[in-house]
Structures are given as structure tokens and as C-alpha cells.
Amino acid sequence: MSKYLPDFSSPSELIKVTWEKLNKFPAGNIIFSSLVSHYIPYTGSISPTVLKIENGTAQVKIKDRKSIRNHLNCIHAIALANIGEFSTGLSITSQLPKSAKGILVRIEVEYLKKARGDLIAEAQFLLPEQFKSEDEFKIVSHIKDAKNIVVSKVYATWKIRL
């Protein structure tokens, strides 16, 4: 494998290396987010912007727009689930060893308040140094509005295969 290209067979390496390289540049996070949206079309449907991937923390922003609103004129429940799942996935995948892969096996969403305006989902999780293949980890993403009020919590359980 070239020292300049990430290992495309390893999701964790792809995320880590691509983020580290692009995030150094102005608007690098926007380019990264566009790449993710291209390679994961369903996640791309909410047009997420990755703000941070660092030390087990991932922050993702979505802008409020008509295409993700529901009949109650607020952000659709599944758009909230999508951004929450994405932030938890970035949090854990960015920490995995090269040989490991994660898969979402369970998701729970708690809707606390109507979501309006731009939102930021933040997931914080530190992967234990020692874990076994098939271990599962439940990660929470807090989704906040512009007033820093939590409008939703997404609990995503990830199974790790080594």
C-alpha cells in the first residue's frame, strides 16, 4: 500500500487518514463530508458536515432545510436518527485498529423536543484498549439546537469484528 493513500479496505484507516489530511486545509471538513456523502448515500441524504473527529469525539452538523422537515414543520425523526448514528459511527470507527470493522446492530432514539434550526450531533466514546471480536458498545449521541438544548438522543450499539 502506498504511504500516501489510505488503506481503502479498512474503514478505520480510511476515516482517520482522510480526515487528518483534509482537516488541515480550509474547508477540508467540507470536502471530507462530501466524500462521505458520496460513499454513504443514505447518510448523504441529510447533507451532514463533519466538524470534528478527535480523541473519540465526533461532531456532525446538519442545516435545517425543507427536504429534511416533516409535516409538523420540524426536522424529521429519521433525519435525527441518521445524524446521531453517523456521529456515533465516526466516534468508534475512527478508533478501531486497522483489522477491525464495526456494524450497527441496534439503534434507539429519544425525541425530547421539536427540532428546528441547524443541529449538531456529538458522540463521545473511548474504545477500551482491550476488547474481543464480537464485543458490542453502546454509544450515545446528543443532538443539540442553536440554543445548545438537547432535542434528541440517539443510542447506537456497534458490534466490532476483528
Q: What is the pTM of this model?
A: 0.92
First-to-last C-alpha distance (Å) of the chain: 20
Cell reading at 61: 452538523
pLDDT for 68-87, tens place per residue?
999 999 999 999 999 999 99
Cell reading at 142: 446528543
Confidence of residue 1 (pLDDT cuts 50, 70, 90): very low
Return the higher-pLDDT residue of 36 and 149: 149
Contact assessment for residue 80 and residue 133, using Cβ atoms and an 8 Å cutoff: no
Percent of the chain whose predicted confidence (pLDDT) is above 90? 83
Contact assessment for residue 151 and residue 144, using Cβ atoms and an 8 Å cutoff: yes
Domains along the sequence of the chain with CATH: 11-161 (3.10.129.10)
pLDDT for 107-130, tens place per residue?
999 999 999 999 999 999 999 999
Torsion of CA 139, 100, 50, 129, to 10 degrees: 60
> Cα separation of 61 and 122, whole Å?
9
Cell reading at 98: 486497522
